[in-house]
Amino acid sequence: MPEQISTPQPPRGLARLAFRLPIGLYRLGLGGLLGTRFLLLTHTGRKTGRVRQTVLEVVRYDREKSEFVVAAGFGPKSDWYQNLRARPQAVVQCGRRRWKMNVKFISPDRAGEELLDYGRRHPLALRELIRIMGFRAGDTPEEIREVGRRLSMVAFSPQG
């Protein structure tokens, strides 16, 4: 089974700035450059009540239903994840399209299957994601599923 050798830490300093640069692309109307691999999440801070934004990598996108699945790469202590737990309202922008979204927290078993599917479509990105999250895991489907089971994932589907 995969061993978590370190707890992922949110970026600080220049790394934080680099992680936040894609927000600027969306604000300039250039979010389309990121395609459907990333989305801009707008949510409400659980403590401040202020509007917050973050760009997240998309684990799965269903174009027909406009549904997205994302993972908390820095774990369930990620601010955006905790904010959604406290206030499950979100707006998602992908490219030039925006949706008010329903928020659903994914079960560990489904998260395992989502990560396995992601790995089939993006094997190099999966290896990097697993490394960033501090896991030591092989390439077997069961090890990938187990990493997924340990992740916190969220599904977004359009309201109405």
Q: Give 64-114 pLDDT, tens digit per residue.
A: 999 999 999 878 889 999 999 999 999 999 988 999 999 999 999 999 999
Q: How is residue 67 written in tokens?
A: 């549904």
H-assigned helices in the chain: 13-27, 79-86, 108-121, 123-132, 141-150
Residue 6: pLDDT over 60: no
Q: How is residue 97 written in tokens?
A: 């399209």
What letter would DSSP give residue 46?
Answer: T
pTM here is 0.87
What's the whole-number mean pLDDT along residues 39-55?
A: 96
- Terminal C-alpha separation, the chain: 41
Confidence at residue 1, expressed as pLDDT on a 0 to 100 scale? 64
Instruction: Kindly tell me the sign of the dihedral angle through the C-alpha atoms of 21, 23, 26, 32.
Output: positive
* Domains in the chain, CATH or no CATH each: 3-158 (2.30.110.10)
